[in-house]
Amino acid sequence: MGKKRIIKKGGEQEAQSGDTGAGTSGEKKSQKKVPEGRVYVYSSYNNTLMSLCDKKGNVLAQVSAGSLGFKGTKKSTPFAASKVADAISQIAKTRGIEKVTLFIKGIGSGRDSALRALGSKGFELSSIEDVTPIPHNGPRPRKVRRV
């Protein structure tokens, strides 16, 4: 069942429901002001994801190309990755982050453009690390086929 609406004589509408959850209060959570943080970039063949974290690794915000409205193969383009970087940089500016450590993971085409877009937004990049997993030897090969 939906919320019951009561119309007052003044023309105002007031929503009344049985539960008193945190979502109905209309108050916004206070955002932590952090001077430096981490940005994790994951670029795959299908999408580009960016996470903004504090120094301990607690996630403050997360943006992906799909959440910005890109669909299908357009999610994996360098343009979409730069738009994701723009969105995460705006969130970081509101949080007061000035110094950023960058961790890049994956083999997609959005890696470089995300890095360039973050660098051009005025952040002080303390370090850039590539954390793409690389297999050391891989699994055991198949046995030789006998005909």
Estimate to the nearest angstrom the gap between the alpha carbon of 83 and the chain centroid: 11
CA geometry: angle 127, 52, 61, nearest 5 deg: 175
- pTM (2 d.p.): 0.72
Q: Which two tokens stand for residue 37?
A: 């943080």
Domains of the chain: 36-130 (3.30.420.80)
Query: Mind listing the pLDDT tens digit of every residue in the chain (147 residues)?
Result: 667 777 777 655 555 544 544 445 555 566 767 788 999 999 999 999 999 999 998 999 999 999 999 999 999 999 999 999 999 999 999 999 999 999 999 998 889 999 999 989 888 899 999 999 988 888 898 999 998
